[in-house]
Chains A and B, each alone.
Chain A
Amino acid sequence: MSDLTPLRDLLDHHVVGHDEVKTALLLALITREHIYVEGPPGTAKTRLAEVAAKGSELDFFFYQLHRDTRLAELVGDIVLERRKVKTDGAAPGTAGEAERIHQRIEPGGLLTAEVAVLDDISRAPGEALNVLLRILNERRFGAAPIPLMAAIATGNPMDDEYYNEPLDPANLDRFALQLRVSGLIQSGVDDAKTLIDRFAAGSVVEQPDPEPVTDRTTLDALNQRMVEVEVGAAVRAALLDILRTLVLEFECNETNSLLTDRTFLVKAIKILRGAALLAGRSAVDLPDLAALSWMTTFRVPPEAHEALPRIIGRVSRQIQAV
């Protein structure tokens, strides 16, 4: 078991079901990657993010995006500074007072938070979000690094009934982890019964604020340990075989997919290491490859994403046989 078991228990205590989202959330906190969760309204997306943030005593920024969202609302106020300066009077009749006008941003919101929840990101205008996503990507604003560990974005499904603009796929790429959730009741899983029973018992009518069970130091330590997790040749060969299958058999290319080198050759290693740590291992093992399917959700065509567990299984068996 890993150091994050208390946090996982806290998530389980506050939210029923959604195993995958919970694991992916913890993975995001360890690996410092952003996560995008898409699902219908009322599936505890925001609640999970909030519990994770408060349970680990992190500075939390919540923002509900809307179609007129502007940058200033996310990063702080835009300030016009005026300073009096003396002019040199080089040109005739210009000696005297002058003002230097400078525009800058007073950091706030996203720039000062450790965990940011960006709700309904699919509602914000794609182009206006560009800078926001750039900040998420680089984790610095101007020259200054920002304390952000993970941004958790949520969105509604891009079906007709929700009237959303589909997100620019390049924007979605900023979120290394991508999940699709469905409502417990709608999908009729066992957890639905637990959920209803819980409310019937009246035990969660008043949702208390989660008590911190871990802190930034623990998360930092886990993050530091990540690089020590061994990624053996077998796992690397398997990863490459999986990617090769996606490109050659499922014809993923620059048009239909976002199979970028950054995500699948660099970040994938991080995610695998995080998954191993979360499972309490000191080396990445073939089962950890299952975490890859949290990376492909919106990056490859649906049929390729659905086939991924099968591909991982096949490749793993081949590698083991060798």
Chain B
Amino acid sequence: MTPPGPDRRTTELAAPFVELRTALGRVLVGQDDAATGLTLALLAEQHAYLEGPPGCGKSELAAALAALSGARTHTLVFHRDIRETDLLGDVLLSRHHHRGHERLRRELIPGPLLQAEVALLEDLPRSPGEALGPLLRILAERHALGQTLPLESAVATGPLEQVEAPIDPLEPGQLDRFAVQLRLPGLLTGGLFDEAAVLLEREAARQPARRAVPAHTFTTGDTAPRPAVMGTVIRNAAQRAAAALQVEPRTLDAYHRLLDRLRQRTADESASGDRLMSDRSFSSAALRLVRAHAFLRGAPAAAPRDLGAIRYMVAHRLPDEVQEAFDHILEELLGDPPNVTMTETGAQMPGAQSQGDDSDGAAAASPASDSWIDDQADLPAPPTLFGKPPPPAQVDPLLRALVGRIERGRIDPDTDPGGQPRGYRPLRDLDELIDADLIEALLFAEGRLPGAPRTFERKRKSAGGAVAVLRDISASMAGRLTVWSSQVVLGILRVAARRRMRVGYVEFHHRALPHQVGGRLLHRSYSRLAEQAGQAKAVGQTNYEAPLRTALEGLRGGSGRNRHVVLLTDGLPIIGDTTVRRERQLARRLGVALHTVFLGNGDCPPVLDDISLETGGLRFCGRPLAGGGLRLEER
């Protein structure tokens, strides 16, 4: 079969989108991926989610897409008080007199969002669940209040998922409504100094903007209004043409193999990040994007290389490590003929194998240390220091107690004015009318409601929680104590991994040695920490102050009660403030529980008791057993 030659009309239709891509690329410095991803999203009529650190230009890029595309747009800034009516439209309350009684009916009149072709949803995760549920449904169905919406793409922005952010992160299922998911790096914090220099130069060369009303929105590009590069008719024609593009059979074949690889890698990695490969996204949406990719480069049909469009989808669908390897995986897949046999060095990299029997190969290639995340699996073999491993530490009592404390913090959502509405409660204060049921508030104001209107009860769950493990690696911890404390750390990591809690790991002697991932103390890279925990070497002297300070700084700013620090040590602090008075105070103020575990034969330093008692933490001690093992029990 010969693919049809490039249709002249196709090329004509693609040109405005190529222009759009170029123009978007000029809006921000160093964010080319995001520009391409957004262009593809609009062309494939998919929704997009942009996330990144504050001030990296998410909103700017989204606004530029809206302006350049010439689409009818509506911007909605989400906040905790956003209501259904802001999203959908005004309430229509109709009254009918019917056989002597009055009948009230509540309807909605479609608002501007429902008439938009490109909808900008800023700070989406700040919205309460009440508003988000219907909105996401409408986005998916493109149908509301009995009419089909003109909506082509919704572009949402949100902050990076961080402990510090006082908002609940969106769930992967909610994010799945956004086919395109893009993560924008910060130029400075991402170390992209060359791009930063370009941006500085551009800002310095900025032309005077003569305007009566000074504009102050953040722009990194020209502040002049951006003229549209296309109109709705052209845009829609291009979208239709892109959707009708053929997908070559070899592309489909490569896509199947790509999905296999991604599935394997996702199952292999006990890595951090979400994993959700839904049918919805990876069938229709993915192929629309692949077609759009081909269309954009003027190809007559989607070739295997157009599978590159998939990488704009993966930010919340694949674990971080797999995302990083995505380009590599795809490259190897496209480069490799399907029948190469596995070489012995190939075992290092599952992506180095190809299709066919590679499911076995990949399983063999996955390091054994990944299996510990499974609750049923055994712990990894303890590091051998004397040739023969010592009998294992009995860490269960500690873990059980810790799990109890963690669960206690998770069960009941706290009442929180910034939380999500989870029911109604009576009005306590006239001020709360703003958060009351609209109709009831109106009837109340008219004096037609016998009682007070109901208002939302807002609650917030302690999202995930966090645990930081501080492990003494001073010289006295050498030998069996090192092995045992590794086992305790692994046990805690396992508990945390099962609950998707963020973990931090700080080894300390006279200094604190935090093991950060991506510059953060708290993260979800459980397997990396597990590996680290097996390698600790005992040196130096003990200092409690430095590690506690490090951990508390890392936990600072987070909300919720479910924050824990576990301090593992075998001796008295010698260096730093030995009473850690200030750290105890800080922990109390932050509501962080400091649990202490004392290992070894000596007497437990009284300061450990003080630390735990003051902060509501657990107290444990580990006694070596006659047979050579270690038993942990409450002090």
The answer to whether A255 and B554 touch across the interface, beta carbons within 8 angstroms, is: yes
Q: Say which residue of A70, A236, A255, A261 sits within 8 Å of B188 (CB atoms).
A: A261
Interface membership of chain A positions 235-267, coded 1 if the CB is closer than 8 angstroms to chain B and 0 otherwise:
011011001100110011111111111111110
Distance A80 CA – B434 CA, assembled complex (angstroms) = 10
The answer to whether B519 and A254 touch across the interface, beta carbons within 8 angstroms, is: yes
A130 part of interface (Cβ distance < 8 Å) = yes
The answer to whether B519 and A96 touch across the interface, beta carbons within 8 angstroms, is: no
Cβ of B211 to closest chain A Cβ, rounded Å:
9
The answer to whether B186 and A255 touch across the interface, beta carbons within 8 angstroms, is: no
Distance A87 CA – B106 CA, assembled complex (angstroms) = 12
B213 part of interface (Cβ distance < 8 Å) = yes
Cβ of A112 to closest chain B Cβ, rounded Å:
14
The answer to whether B92 and A98 touch across the interface, beta carbons within 8 angstroms, is: yes
B25 part of interface (Cβ distance < 8 Å) = no
The answer to whether A243 and B216 touch across the interface, beta carbons within 8 angstroms, is: no
Q: Compute the total of residue contacts between A and B using a CB distance below 8 Å.
A: 200
Residues of A within 8 A of B196 (CB): 240, 243, 261, 265
Query: Which residues in chain A, 129-153, are within 8 Å of chain B measured between CB atoms?
Result: 130-131, 134, 137-140, 145
The answer to whether A138 and B216 touch across the interface, beta carbons within 8 angstroms, is: yes
A170 part of interface (Cβ distance < 8 Å) = yes
A166 part of interface (Cβ distance < 8 Å) = yes
The answer to whether B200 and A126 touch across the interface, beta carbons within 8 angstroms, is: no
B209 part of interface (Cβ distance < 8 Å) = yes
B624 part of interface (Cβ distance < 8 Å) = no
Residues of B within 8 A of A252 (CB): 189
Cβ of B113 to closest chain A Cβ, rounded Å:
13
Name the interface size band of chain B. 35 or more
The answer to whether B557 and A168 touch across the interface, beta carbons within 8 angstroms, is: yes
The answer to whether A253 and B85 touch across the interface, beta carbons within 8 angstroms, is: no
Cβ of A322 to closest chain B Cβ, rounded Å:
16
Distance A135 CA – B445 CA, assembled complex (angstroms) = 29
The answer to whether B520 and A100 touch across the interface, beta carbons within 8 angstroms, is: no
Interface membership of chain A positions 166-210, coded 1 if the CB is closer than 8 angstroms to chain B and 0 otherwise:
101110010000000000000000000000000000000000000
Cβ of B39 to closest chain A Cβ, rounded Å:
22
Residues of A within 8 A of B167 (CB): 127
The answer to whether A103 and B209 touch across the interface, beta carbons within 8 angstroms, is: no
Distance A101 CA – B439 CA, assembled complex (angstroms) = 9
Residues of B within 8 A of A254 (CB): 53, 160, 162, 186, 189, 518-520
Distance A132 CA – B445 CA, assembled complex (angstroms) = 27
The answer to whether B189 and A239 touch across the interface, beta carbons within 8 angstroms, is: no
Residues of A within 8 A of B138 (CB): none
Q: Say which residue of B160, B217, B438 sits within 8 Å of A103 (CB atoms).
A: B438
Q: Say which residue of A32, A68, A72, A168 sits within 8 Å of B434 (CB atoms).
A: A72
B204 part of interface (Cβ distance < 8 Å) = yes
Residues of B within 8 A of A96 (CB): 94-97
Interface membership of chain A positions 63-102, coded 1 if the CB is closer than 8 angstroms to chain B and 0 otherwise:
0000010111000001010100101000001111111111
Q: Say which residue of A128, A251, A266 sits within 8 Å of B199 (CB atoms).
A: A266
Distance A128 CA – B196 CA, assembled complex (angstroms) = 34
Query: Which of B76-84, B357-365, B610-618 lines the interface with chain A?
Result: B76-84
Query: Which residues in chain B, 424-456, are within 8 Å of chain A measured between CB atoms?
Result: 431, 434, 438-439, 441-442, 445
Chain A, Cβ-Cβ closest to B217: A138
Query: Which of A16-24, A224-232, A290-298, A313-321 lines the interface with chain B?
Result: A224-232
Q: Say which residue of A94, A101, A131, A137 sits within 8 Å of B96 (CB atoms).
A: A94
Cβ of A168 to closest chain B Cβ, rounded Å:
6
B3 part of interface (Cβ distance < 8 Å) = no
Cβ of B404 to closest chain A Cβ, rounded Å:
29
Interface membership of chain B positions 77-109, coded 1 if the CB is closer than 8 angstroms to chain A and 0 otherwise:
101110101000011111111100001010001
Cβ of A252 to closest chain B Cβ, rounded Å:
7
A282 part of interface (Cβ distance < 8 Å) = no
A223 part of interface (Cβ distance < 8 Å) = yes
Distance A128 CA – B77 CA, assembled complex (angstroms) = 14
The answer to whether B188 and A259 touch across the interface, beta carbons within 8 angstroms, is: yes
A269 part of interface (Cβ distance < 8 Å) = yes
B373 part of interface (Cβ distance < 8 Å) = no
The answer to whether A131 and B79 touch across the interface, beta carbons within 8 angstroms, is: yes
Distance A166 CA – B201 CA, assembled complex (angstroms) = 36
The answer to whether B519 and A99 touch across the interface, beta carbons within 8 angstroms, is: no
Cβ of B205 to closest chain A Cβ, rounded Å:
8
Distance A135 CA – B520 CA, assembled complex (angstroms) = 30
A274 part of interface (Cβ distance < 8 Å) = no
The answer to whether A240 and B193 touch across the interface, beta carbons within 8 angstroms, is: yes
Query: Which of B54-62, B260-268, B277-285, B466-474 lines the interface with chain A?
Result: B54-62
Residues of A within 8 A of B388 (CB): none
Interface membership of chain B positions 95-127, coded 1 if the CB is closer than 8 angstroms to chain A and 0 otherwise:
111100001010001000000000000010010
Chain B, Cβ-Cβ closest to A101: B91
Q: Say which residue of B214, B417, B554 sits within 8 Å of A32 (CB atoms).
A: B214
Chain B, Cβ-Cβ closest to A125: B417
Q: Say which residue of B85, B418, B516, B556 sits within 8 Å of A128 (CB atoms).
A: B418
The answer to whether B187 and A97 touch across the interface, beta carbons within 8 angstroms, is: no
Q: Say which residue of A99, A169, A228 sits within 8 Å of B208 (CB atoms).
A: A228
The answer to whether A269 and B434 touch across the interface, beta carbons within 8 angstroms, is: no
Residues of B within 8 A of A168 (CB): 164, 166, 557
The answer to whether B554 and A94 touch across the interface, beta carbons within 8 angstroms, is: no
The answer to whether B445 and A255 touch across the interface, beta carbons within 8 angstroms, is: no
Residues of A within 8 A of B95 (CB): 96-99
Distance A144 CA – B601 CA, assembled complex (angstroms) = 71
A160 part of interface (Cβ distance < 8 Å) = yes
Best-buried of A70, A100, A166, A265 by chain B (most CB within 10 Å)? A265
Cβ of B433 to closest chain A Cβ, rounded Å:
8
> 17 A-B pairs, CB-CB below 8 angstroms?
A71-B434, A72-B431, A97-B95, A99-B94, A101-B91, A101-B92, A127-B80, A127-B416, A128-B80, A131-B77, A145-B213, A236-B197, A236-B200, A247-B191, A254-B189, A261-B188, A266-B220
Q: Across the A-B interface, give the 10 residue pairs with the lowest CB-CB distance, nearest first.
A: A262-B55, A127-B418, A260-B55, A98-B94, A253-B519, A231-B204, A227-B208, A269-B203, A139-B216, A101-B91
